[in-house]
Amino acid sequence: MSRLTPGMVIDGFRVEEKLHKGGMATLWHVTRVDGKPDDPRLLMKIPILGDNTDPAAIVGFEVEQMIMPKLTGIHVPHFVASGDFTGQPYIVMEEIAGKSLRSRFDEAPLPIDEVVSIGIRVATALHDLHRQNVIHLDVKPSNIMFHETGEVILIDYGLARHDKLPDLLAEEFRLPMGTGPYISPEQVMHIRNDPRSDLFALGVLMYHLATGERPYGFPTTVSGLRRRLYRDPVPPRSLNPQIPKWLQELILRCLEVNPDKRHDTAAQLALELQHPEQVKLTARAEKRVREGLFKMIRRWFRSVGMEYVPQQSASTQLTRAPIIVVAIDLNYGSEALAESLRVAARRVLQTEPGARLACVTVQKTNRIGMDELVDKEGRNIHVKHLVGLKHWARPLNIPAEKITYHVLEAPDAATAIIDYAKVNAVDHIVIGSRGSSAFRRYLGSVSSEVVALAECTVTVVKTPGGTSQPSLQPVKPQQSENMQAGTGN
């Protein structure tokens, strides 16, 4: 392995200029020897090797070489090529045209709207990563890039864990792996296979962006890292009164020591960040001071013998905590269909105890012209639909923190449902079908369009016998067509 200089050629890539030198690697701008002028810009990552090189850095580079070729989508860098340690070790990837989140931390506290926007985008990117069986385990400002179009891109997979690959770091090292301010309590306890560890780090990020302070400082020792097992952070609202209660609720939930008390998935966190009016407030939202000395000592004693029961994998956690949407047509007065939808939703929830249910209806709007805001009785139509959704869901007896209600205003019902499912990383849509007729077969139906275009599982529910007439008879088990559309879970 020779020292790199501009002009050198490595496996068909010409080294152009050094862009950055960190503690573990250098970044170079490279071009293909046989490339074209309009080819995308490429970045080559070279590990720093020497007598004082941390062995974990070498293993981390191997981990990144294994994981990056398996990643796809808009939230990760595009992998191009790699070289191993028998020659010149490197990773070539696309060069991202954008800035990292690091630059915004110098200006914290940021406006609340910006904090929420960043939280939503990072949570969305994390969910996409977790769906690819990868836990990042080093979520921090410098590893979060913003594409020119606004999407978050997660970089640096040297500490990551892939469900389907050997965990080299866990096999070779016994010290906590992560970055001091952001490492989760379970990582401190050497647990590396829980995707909710990334939610803890996101909670730290949002706390810092909203208050200008780190919730756990910048510890550099194992004993310093362990303090987060028993010492709670200063409540964000005591540092910045502009933070709304609902945001403190979500931030402190992310920072819970026990992963089971955090959100089940990053998608569920993103959903709540997008709908603050439906966040269930608990004692976290009202908290103004840290816990007293007596409680801290009790937590310390518990932490001494604390042992985590780790999740089996990222995919396991996502499978047991999906987001389920039930699309309900409140303008159509079939109690039989409404009950069939409830039966279908109840069955899905019984098999998925960690699921989050979103009840959705579409308030049709005009493509051209003014929309009516009240009905003939003078009632607000949006509020009327919201009440209708809650009335429909009441017999299900779902805890308030596991259900939300959404009235989508759009001229096309199918498009509104499909867009909602895509934006909120929905795993399963349950939708009713009114029955069949020659007219509907000719023009198509909302349910058939959702089945055709949704990127998740879609269950179409019909009333007994295919009839769409109201029924006062006991409802028999519904006929349902469980159809797979797209590539969802």
Instruction: Return the residue matching tokens 């009632």.
Output: 379
Residue 442: the pLDDT is 44
Please tell me whether residues 110 and 83 are part of one structural domain: no
Q: What is the DSSP letter of 11?
A: T
Among the candidates 301, 317, 333, a domain finishes at 317
Give pLDDT, residue 440. Answer: 47
Name residues of the chain where pLDDT drops below 70. 1-2, 50-53, 304-312, 332-333, 367-376, 378, 435-444, 464-489
pLDDT at 312: 61
CATH of the domain at 429: 3.40.50.620
Assigned domain for 3 exists: no
- Residue 4 counted as domain residue: no
Q: Let me know whether 267 and 384 are in one domain.
A: no
| Alpha helices (H) in 154-195, listed in sequence order | 168-172, 185-188
Q: What are the beta bridge partners of residue 358?
A: 325, 404
Q: Do residues 284 and 239 both lie within one domain?
A: yes
Q: Which residues contact 347 (CB under 8 A, 6 or more apart)?
A: none
Asked whether residue 57 is assigned to any structural domain, the reply reads yes
> 370 — alpha (psi -120 to 50), left (phi > 0) or beta?
beta
Hey, which residues does 26 pair with through a beta bridge?
21, 46
Provide the CATH number for the domain around residue 138.
1.10.510.10
Residue 62 domain-assigned (yes or no): yes
User: CA 208, CA 109: separation in Å to the nearest integer?
Assistant: 7
In this prediction, residue 393 carries a pLDDT of: 92
* The domain boundary residue, chosen from 275, 296, 317: 317
- Helix (H) / strand (E) element for 363: namely strand 356-364
pLDDT in tens, 72-117: 999 999 999 999 887 889 999 999 888 899 989 989 999 999 999 9
Residue 412 in 3-state DSSP? Answer: coil
Q: Tell me: cis bond preceding 411? Omega within 30 of 0 counts.
A: no
For residue 435, the model assigns a pLDDT of 61
Its pTM stands at 0.85
DSSP string for 294-322: HHHHHHHHHHHT------S-HHHHHHTS-
Tell whether 56 and 127 lie within a shared domain. no
Domain count, the chain: 3
> What CATH number corresponds to the domain at position 20?
3.30.200.20
Which residues form the domain of 215? 99-317
Residue 402 to residue 280: CA distance in whole angstroms: 9
Structural domain includes residue 14: yes
Burial annotation 161-183 (CB, 10 A radius, 16+ → b, else e): bbbeeeebbeeeeeebbbbbbbb
Q: What is the pLDDT of residue 307?
A: 62
pLDDT for 409: 87
The per-residue pLDDT for 258 is 92
Whether residue 331 is found in the same domain as residue 359: yes
Residue 74 and residue 208 in one domain: no
